[in-house]
Amino acid sequence: MRAIVIGLLIAAVAGCGGEQAAPRQVVLVTHDSFAVSKPVLRAFERTSGFTLRILQTGDAGAALNRALLTAGTPEGDVFFGVDNNLLSRALGEDLFEPYESPALDRIDPQYVLDDEHRVTPVDHGEVCVNVDRAAFATEPAPTSFEQLALPRHRGRLVVENPATSTPGLAFLLATIAHFGEDGWQSYWRALRENDVLVVDGWEEAYTQRFSGAGGSNGDRPIVVSYASSPPAEVIFAGKALEEAPTAVIASTCFRQVELAGVLRGARNPEGARALLDFMLGERFQRDVPASMFVFPVREGTPLPPAFERFAVVPERPLELPPAEIGENRDRWIGEWTDVVLR
């Protein structure tokens, strides 16, 4: 009898030892521009009981490509940074597990782009043409797509390559939304003839080639950037300003929504869901503008004073359905390359 009891105890201990404890770390895979303040990071860890590790894997396009290469056996639990312009790739390659967060009831429905809830909206940040106010102190600044191609603005515009840059892709899509399938290529031919400068990414375009960025020696007073760039310039100026040094051409703005999802095959799906809930909560959403210079998607979230005063939130930004973008994106980029770079 004693031998039987001992045997049962040994089996029980062995069984307990063989079970893996539920992981208490959540790994967020994201792009290099992701940022969250330390108090908000601590708040998630304190309220959820999970620790958070942030794995940044390049710019938005590179981060998504890397996530797709590891689909099903991911490097983390949540991916943040896929936008509406690249969404079809992520959904088409089965990157995410569906999860409908209860916090979605506080999110503006216009940002919910997947009825199956494989992705969850976290922020939006419209891509718009920006101008250097000082460069146009004695003449009118352009106010439309069409004016950018006028001879008086020759050699003034710098844009990002849509094949390598998410704002560059958004601007290409904006011109397609505005001019239509029959007109956008002619418009880009006009920009090419007007000496448009194309660079690989936003960092080079804005901080090196654009004359309106703080500390820049750039010589181009018009750039593709964001609706939140003017308040960012004010915040980084480090002193009170009555007017932002840059301005947005609101008619050129194209909506960019950033989304997150539970990665298929995640080691810690429970923690992943908790993180998505937290990212939709008031604490995280309130931190979004000052940390990443984008706008929250949670209704009623207050904005920092610089955003309230200097940011542009276009009432009707240009948009294209994600399915249409997915069906045509590669063709459009190829045609753009033929028109502008060859």
221 compared with 166, residue with greater pLDDT:
221
Residue 8 has a pLDDT of 40
The DSSP string of 298-336 is: BTTPPPPHHHHHH----SS-B---HHHHHHHHHHHHHHH
Residue 270: CA count within 13 A, CB half-sphere: 9
Is 11's pLDDT higher than 90? no
Give 240's pLDDT tier (boundaries 50, 70, 90).
confident
Judge whether 77 and 26 are in contact, CB under 8 Å: yes
pTM of the model: 0.83
Residue 6 has a pLDDT of 41
Supply the mean pLDDT for the chain. 91
Pairing of strands 25-30, 51-56: parallel
Give 21's pLDDT tier (boundaries 50, 70, 90).
low
